[in-house]
């Protein structure tokens, strides 16, 4: 599937309340969201025909839009229902779900108060974000050149399209240098996240992870923290400086696309694919599977 351009996939896309053929889901070249990044989106996964934490993702889509100064003209319940219906219409059990909302083309310029707010949902089959064989060994991360900005300079609590520009640049640079991804610092020089996933470290049986004060507090991140606590593993959210990486034993990433992915290397620092990372990888895989009702005997 990777060889097929995304605009040439088959099926349907939900767009502004209607199911349209995949090839017909188009916007104008002068769409505000394209020129000025006035767009917010979500990334979700369906497992066994059920979208994991769908309502939580849809609510965050609404919250992100409000941070960018617009209101999505479809309720959380309406978007949830559209996602569920589209998943069935596409005929997939396991799939990736991408809702997006953006300002349209009624005005062109920085100001776009009168622009229509559009909303669309696309669903396609997308396997592991990282190479499965490499994932089991632990992926290698570069250290990104760009840094996560001060929240006073960017809407960091939103999942906004514009915030991913530096992520694309950083991931491209990392891949060009032979890495799978890159670890990003924040504007203070503290460890922040990877280009599209949150980051965790393990030392002496405890998990350490950066406070999400200038980057997204991922839904997968929160899920994995809960899973660790169920195992009575202490999770410490704090500022982490890059020089501390020498003292950590394990490292892993979390995200809808990445799920739980062990890390074996960040620049000059090496990590084991240890038991805590493996356990949480397995626990997350079990957590996302739809719970089957137990038939009464």
Q: Which residues pair with 272 in a beta bridge?
A: 250
pLDDT at 96 over 50: yes
Please report which confidence band the pLDDT of residue 130 belongs to, taking 50, 70 and 90 as the band edges.
confident
pLDDT of 66 over the 50 cut: yes
Catalytic residues: 159
pLDDT at site 3: 78
| DSSP-based helix, strand, coil % in the chain, nearest 5 | 30, 30, 40
CA 246 remoteness from chain centre:
27
Domain count, the chain: 2
User: Do residue 138 and residue 252 come from a single domain?
Assistant: yes
Q: How far apart are CA 228 and CA 214, in angstroms?
A: 23
Listed range (1-10, 162-171, 273-282) with the worst mean pLDDT: 1-10
Q: Alpha-carbon torsion 16, 19, 20, 22, what sign?
A: positive
96: nearest Cα among 261, 231, 264, 257: 257
One domain, residues 225 and 183 = yes
Domain final position from 98, 124, 150: 124
- The answer to whether 244 touches 229, Cβ cutoff 8 Å, is no
Q: Are residues 248 and 192 in the same domain?
A: yes
Sign of CA dihedral 49, 52, 56, 58: negative
* Inter-residue contact 2 to 77 (CB < 8 Å): no
Q: Is residue 294 part of a domain?
A: no
Q: Tokens 């599209």 sit at which residue?
A: 196
**pLDDT grade for 296, boundaries at 50, 70 and 90:** very low
Range 141-167 average pLDDT: 97
Residues 35 and 144 in one domain: no
Phi, psi angles (nearest 5°) of residue 150: -60, 135
180 with 213, same domain: the answer is yes
pLDDT at 126: 84
User: The tokens of 162 are what?
Assistant: 């514009």
pLDDT of residue 291: 77
* Domain of residue 208, CATH code: 3.20.10.10
Among the candidates 70, 99, 124, a domain finishes at 124
Q: Packing angle between helix 275-288 and helix 219-230, nearest 10 degrees?
A: 110
pLDDT of residue 259: 96
**236 plus 161 within the same structural domain:** yes
The pLDDT of residue 293:
41
Give 61-126 as a DSSP string: HHHHHHHTT---SS-HHHHHHHHHHHHHHHT-SSEEEEEEEEE-SS--SS--TTPPEEEEEEEE--
In whole angstroms, how far apart are CA 52 and each of 11, 84, 96, 287?
22, 11, 10, 9
- Indicate whether 293 belongs to any domain: no
Residues of the domain holding 16: 6-124
In this predicted model, what pLDDT tens digit does every residue of 214-244 receive, in sequence order?
A: 999 999 999 999 999 999 999 999 999 999 9
Q: What is the CATH number of the domain that holds 54?
A: 3.30.470.10
Mean pLDDT of 69-78: 98
pLDDT greater than 70 at residue 251:
yes
Assess whether pLDDT exceeds 70 at residue 22.
yes
Binned at pLDDT 50, 70 and 90, residue 292 comes out as low
End-to-end CA distance of the chain: 44
- How much is the pTM? 0.93
The Cα 117–Cα 83 span in angstroms is 18
Which are the contacts of 265, defined by CB distance < 8 A and separation ≥ 6? Answer: 138, 140, 141, 271
Helices (H), the chain: 32-36, 54-67, 76-90, 132-137, 165-176, 219-230, 275-288
Q: Which residues are registered as beta bridge partners of 103?
A: 117
How far is residue 163's CA from residue 150's CA, in Å, rounded to a whole number? 12
Angstrom CA distances, 240 to 85, 144, 183, 185, 258, stand at: 43, 16, 12, 10, 22
């Amino acid at each position: 599937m990777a060889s097929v351009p995304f605009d040439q996939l088959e099926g349907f896309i939900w767009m502004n309340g209607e199911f349209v053929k995949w090839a017909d889901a188009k916007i104008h070249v002068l769409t505000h969201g394209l020129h000025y990044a006035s767009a917010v989106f979500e990334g979700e996964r369906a497992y066994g025909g059920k979208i994991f934490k769908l309502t939580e993702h849809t609510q965050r889509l609404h919250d992100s839009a409000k941070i960018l100064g617009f209101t999505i003209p479809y309720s959380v319940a309406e978007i949830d229902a559209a996602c569920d219906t589209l998943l069935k219409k596409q005929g997939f059990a396991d799939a990736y779900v991408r809702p997006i909302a953006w300002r349209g083309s009624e005005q062109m310029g920085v100001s776009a108060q009168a622009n229509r707010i559009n909303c669309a949902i696309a669903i396609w089959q997308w396997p592991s974000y990282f190479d499965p064989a490499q994932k089991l060994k632990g992926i290698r991360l570069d250290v990104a050149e760009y840094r996560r900005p001060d929240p006073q300079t960017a809407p960091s609590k939103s999942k906004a399209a514009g915030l991913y520009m530096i992520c694309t640049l950083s991931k491209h640079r990392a891949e060009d240098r032979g890495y799978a991804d890159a670890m990003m610092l924040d504007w203070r020089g503290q460890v922040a996240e990877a280009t599209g996933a949150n980051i965790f470290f393990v030392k002496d049986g405890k998990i350490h992870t950066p406070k999400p004060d200038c980057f997204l507090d991922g839904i997968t991140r929160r899920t994995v923290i809960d899973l660790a606590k169920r195992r009575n593993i202490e999770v410490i959210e704090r500022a982490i400086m890059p020089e501390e990486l020498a003292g950590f034993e394990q490292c892993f990433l979390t995200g809808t696309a990445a799920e739980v992915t062990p890390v074996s290397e960040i620049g000059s620092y090496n990590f084991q694919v240890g038991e805590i990372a493996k356990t949480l990888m397995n626990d997350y895989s079990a957590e996302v599977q739809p719970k089957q009702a137990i038939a009464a005997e």
